[in-house]
Copies of this chain bind each other. A is one copy, B any other.
Amino acid sequence: MITVALAKGALLKDSAARFAAAGLDFSAALDKDNRQLMLPTPCGRARALLVRNGDVPTYVAYGQAQLGVVGYDVLREHQLPVAQLVDLGFGGCRMAVAVKASSGYERAADLPPHCRVASKFTHCAREYFDGLDLPVELVHLNGSVELGPITGMSEAIVDLVATGRTLRDNGLVAIEDLFHTTARLVGHPLSMRLDDGSLNAIVEAVRTASAAAGAAG
């Protein structure tokens, strides 16, 4: 049986739609009352593992799921050995440096050396500021990163920005982008190499559906 790790939350609906195009019906996962974490498809060929966004690469890297859907931001942050197979196109947003609108900083390089930067994505942030040769103190937060500058704990944040509404509501402004992120189909490398064709058929169907959605969108 093929196991697919799907991230609960914002990516789930579109993920299910892509797999539906590959003949795998994960729509039971979209039921609000569903509390099961392991859901077989009606056809019995596959099952979904419903896990946290950040845990998808773990299940795929360890081979407990042969396929998974997760944001590129998570792949960049965790650096686990999974194969990136298809850019699914949805879940688009950008990883950005943001500061208080009143701060006057216009570029990341304007930040003072050794200032504090709060982020859920400290690995990505570390890489970025190292690239600028700007030494900063990273403060890891698990949520509500916008509180960093508001409380005065940090000069800046590195966080995902979709519409920019959370930033605006909190008097913050994005001043530089690290990278753009979308949802990705990932695979367990060994399972892909040993594949009898059934995994590849799913990957190709998802790829075709994503290309069609991209052309339509």
Contacts and interface: CB of A to CB of B under 8 A. Distances in A.
Given A37-B147, A38-B147, A147-B38, A55 B141 contact: yes
A142 interface: yes
Contacts of A50: 144
Interface residues of A, number: 27
B64 A144 contact: no
A10 to B, nearest CB: 15
Contacts of A3: 151
Interface string A124-150: 000000000000000111111011001
B52 A142 contact: yes
Interface in A31-59: 37-38, 49-55, 58-59
A58 to B, nearest CB: 6
Contacts of A51: 141, 143-144, 147
A179 interface: no
A171 to B, nearest CB: 12
Interface of chain A: mostly helix, strand, loop or mixed: mixed
Contacts of A52: 141-144
Contact of A151 (B54, B59, B151, B153): B59
A152 interface: yes
Contacts of A146: 37
A64 B142 contact: no
A152 B52 CA distance: 18
A38 B117 CA distance: 20
Best-buried of A54, A142, A150 by chain B (most CB within 10 Å): A142
Contact of A144 (B55, B65, B140, B144): B55
16 contacts: A3-B151, A37-B146, A37-B147, A38-B150, A50-B144, A51-B141, A51-B147, A54-B142, A55-B141, A55-B142, A58-B140, A58-B141, A58-B153, A62-B139, A64-B152, A64-B153
